[in-house]
Amino acid sequence: MASRARKRSLGWVGVALGVLMAASCKRAATPAPATGHTGLTIVVTIPPLMWAVEGLAPQGAEVNLIVPPGASPHGFELTPSQSALIVGADLVVMVGLGMEPQVEAALAAHAADRRRVVRFEDVLRDDEHLDAPHDHDDGHEHVHGGDPHMWLDPVLMGRFVEMLGEEIRSVSGESGRPGDISIRAGAMQGECAAIDSAYREGLARCVSKTIVAQHNAYPYLAHRYGLRVESVIHGAGGGHGGEASPGEIASAVRAIKESGVRAVFVERQMQDGSARRVAEAAGVEVLVLDPLGDGDWPEMMRENLGALVEGLGGSGG
């Protein structure tokens, strides 16, 4: 019975991911930025935002990523060369909400009228998530009590693409007239909408609605799709990937068993020894949720949806 249910679950995920792949192919048919440096330099802070920037960058723009794939932005230290890139950029694209304090410090120390800064946090101005409770107990304080992991909500990512497209059009001289950037922005917003639809359908089929993770990077995603984050492992041992004490492990195992959680989600950017010991003691699976990816945001979201449906007991119905 369990084997058949699992096959139905994974079969449905295959269909949903096929739909998302089709949406991705549609975007690939839109005009792509040309090579050749035009003099416009863009700095992007984290990999998830690279998808939007590279897809919208004007022809010949130079795009530089600050936090490389596989690294965590929490506590990330800028090198002198990275600071110079930020100071000299025409456009800086970042998350905000306290995610990149060193970048904010560099911008404040070297103000420049010509430089534009786009912060993802600005999409929250008219969104209900602005006042959503934030339980980010990670030793890193975020301004306004807000969680910075907004890009994991496809609806917010769609709004960010729209906002970024308008700014890049202005910087590149396309402002006030339809053009290549506008076409690509529309296609990318359509891809965000397709991913949102797949998440709504896939997560609605799940038996469990509770996520247990090392790091509570998922308040926006959970709020959007009716899930609950119970970050019972995170914080053990004093922060990201810290080792938990025997007492902390026992407490986490007890909480998992009481809540009926089916899996513990770990992250590629963190040490996961404690989380794996908790999962083994509780008799549940260990699955990977990647909140940062390698720069391909749609692929990251597809993989995360597959892991969520598997870990939360999704069914093909």
CATH assignment of 208-311, among 2.130.10.10, 3.40.50.1980, 3.40.190.10, 3.40.50.2300: 3.40.50.1980
Angle at 147 between CA 272 and CA 258, to 5 degrees: 50
pLDDT per residue, tens digit, the chain (317 aa), is 434 444 444 454 454 545 454 444 444 333 344 444 457 899 999 999 999 999 999 888 999 999 999 888 888 899 999 999 999 999 999 999 999 999 999 999 999 999 999 999 999 986 654 544 454 444 333 333 589 999 999 999 999 999 999 999 998 877 555 689 999 999 999 999 999 999 999 999 999 999 998 888 999 999 999 999 876 575 444 445 567 788 888 888 988 898 888 999 999 888 888 889 999 999 999 999 999 999 999 999 999 999 999 999 986 44
Please provide the DSSP assignment of the chain as one string.
-HHHHHHHHHHHHHHHHHHHHHHHHHHHTSPPPPPS--S-EEEESSHHHHHHHHHHPPTT-EEEESS-TT--STTPPPPHHHHHHHHH-SEEEE--TTS-HHHHHHHHHT--TT-EEEEGGGGGGGSGGGG------SS---GGG--S-GGGSHHHHHHHHHHHHHHHHHHHT-TTS--HHHHHHHHHHHHHHHHHHHHHHHHHT-S--EEEESS---HHHHHHHT-EE--SSTTTTSSTTPPPPHHHHHHHHHHHHHHT--EEEE-TTS--HHHHHHHHHHT-EEEE--SS-SS-HHHHHHHHHHHHHHHTT----
CATH superfamily label, 22-197 = Nitrogenase molybdenum iron protein domain (3.40.50.1980)
For the whole prediction, is pTM greater than 0.85?
A: no
pLDDT reported for residue 32: 45
pLDDT reported for residue 304: 98
Question: CA–CA separation, 33 vs 57, rounded Å?
Answer: 6
pLDDT reported for residue 135: 47
Tell me the residue type at 42: I
Q: State how beta strands 41-44 and 91-94 pair.
A: parallel
Q: For residue 15, what are the contacts with CB-CB under 8 A and spacing of at least 6?
A: none
* Structure token digits, residue 172: 């590149």
Report pLDDT digits (tens) over 72-125.
Answer: 888 889 999 999 999 999 999 999 999 999 999 999 999 999 999 999 999 998
CATH 3.40.50.1980: which residues of the chain?
22-197, 208-311
Question: CA–CA separation, 136 vs 60, rounded Å?
Answer: 39
pLDDT reported for residue 273: 87
pLDDT reported for residue 175: 58
Contacts 24+ apart (CB under 8 A), 279-282: 281/249, 281/250, 281/253, 282/252, 282/253, 282/256, 282/257
